[in-house]
Amino acid sequence: MRLLRLEADGEFSLLEFVGKNIPRYAILSHTWGADDEEVTFKDLADGAGKSKHGYSKIRFCGKQAAKDGLQFFWVDTCCIDKSSSAELSEAINSMFRWYHNAVKCYVYLSDVSISGSVGNDLSSQWIWKPAIQYSRWFTRSWTLQELVAPTSVEFFSAEGERLGDRISLLQEIHNITGISIQALQGSPLSQFSVDERMSWAESRKAKRDEDAAYSLLGIFDIHMPLIYGEGRKKAFIRLHKEIEQSLRNEPPALPPTLSTEQLKRKRESFSTVPFGRDPDFVGRTDVSAWIRERCAAPGTRAAIRDSAASQPTRSMEEAHIDKPASLSFNSYGPGFQFNAPGSTQNNNTGSGNQFFGSLSGPVHFR
């Protein structure tokens, strides 16, 4: 990552940093003018570009960073060597992270002026606030991530005067962009659906068709190679494929942790079967005793079927009340099965002394 530094003589120098040795820095967010009016990497390397219109933005960023106690700052026009396709691809895939890691992000609104106002008090805001909603900055593809990625975003007028930040202008920004208040306040973007995040970019424009898709890589935390010339449609097809693959690779969400009281209620909700008593049913204490006997030893099980199983909910309740921690049960078609600890549950309906079958009437445990 290359960073600019404003030297004591007023000149700018470019320094390159690798890995974790990147110092604290500010970053500029702006809209590009004509290509020949922006200061490029080559311009700075050659000591040229001072007469270009874009030089004033670099000067503004350097001075504002110094005011904030930051020695280094980053501007996309001149910190990336765009003559290298490999460097450009790496930079675009890293852009969201660079904005996120910046100490300060300065949004330079070249079409919002405070001319005619005095200071920045409430009485003067009526002059520049209406202009913000029509600023070109809110219509560009690349500025979406530059708005939501940084932790600190400050807005400045064409004169370099501070207008506010993402929090003080929260409602205005929300009204202009339609971006969720929570996202503007810094909530992780992964908390918002793919469709919602896509909607934030719907009306935004890019100079190059493919950039409409490439500018969203960081919004969805994905990486992919750039293929300028593939067109907008193919770029978005690749983007959606990468998003789908990323979602498939996500680990399943962990269930929320339950409190002790919630766990107690969860157990109690299964403590009794929620059906009223039916006076027409007669208790079958012989069946109840038989189940207890069959499931007395670990690893054993007992099953009932046919008419004996016509009211399984009663037997389920009996099992829970009698031995709530040591009896489980499962249904298997014509009947259901009780399992002692250590037994292997199965749905086998075979014969043998496991089964108490062909009872003459329904079973009702009390």
**Predicted local distance difference test score (pLDDT) of residue 117:** 59
Q: Pairing between strand 104-108 and 12-16? A: unpaired
Q: Which two tokens stand for residue 292?
A: 């207890």
**Predicted local distance difference test score (pLDDT) of residue 328:** 53
Query: Which residue do the tokens 């009794």 mark?
Result: 272
Q: Which two tokens stand for residue 341?
A: 């600890």
297 neighbors 348 (Cβ within 8 angstroms) = no
Q: Which two tokens stand for residue 361?
A: 């009437």
Q: How far apart are CA 270 and CA 331, in angstroms?
A: 16
Phi, psi of 44 (to 5 degrees): -65, -40
Q: Give the neighbor-by-neighbor strand order of the sheet with 355-356.
A: 328-331, 335-339, 301-305, 355-356
Q: How many secondary structure helices (H) and strands (E) does the chain include? A: 14, 11
Q: Write the pLDDT tens digit of every residue in 329-341.
A: 555 444 555 566 5
Q: How far apart are CA 92 and CA 99, in angstroms?
A: 11
Sequence spans of domains, the chain: 2-187, 206-250, 281-356
| pLDDT block averages, 10 residues each, the chain of length 366 | 92 91 96 93 90 94 97 97 94 97 98 72 68 95 98 96 95 96 96 96 96 98 96 97 90 60 46 45 60 69 55 51 50 54 50 36 38
**Predicted local distance difference test score (pLDDT) of residue 356:** 37
- DSSP for residue 163: E
Alpha helices in the chain (DSSP H): 41-45, 55-67, 76-79, 85-101, 125-132, 143-148, 170-177, 181-184, 194-200, 211-214, 231-249, 260-268, 285-294, 312-322
- DSSP for residue 12: E
Helix (H, G, I), strand (E, B) or coil at 45: helix
**Predicted local distance difference test score (pLDDT) of residue 10:** 86
338 neighbors 303 (Cβ within 8 angstroms) = yes
Q: Is the pTM of this model over 0.75?
A: no
Alpha helices in 162-255 (DSSP H): 170-177, 181-184, 194-200, 211-214, 231-249
**Displacement of CA 228 from its chain's centroid (Å):** 28
**Predicted local distance difference test score (pLDDT) of residue 355:** 36
**Predicted local distance difference test score (pLDDT) of residue 335:** 54
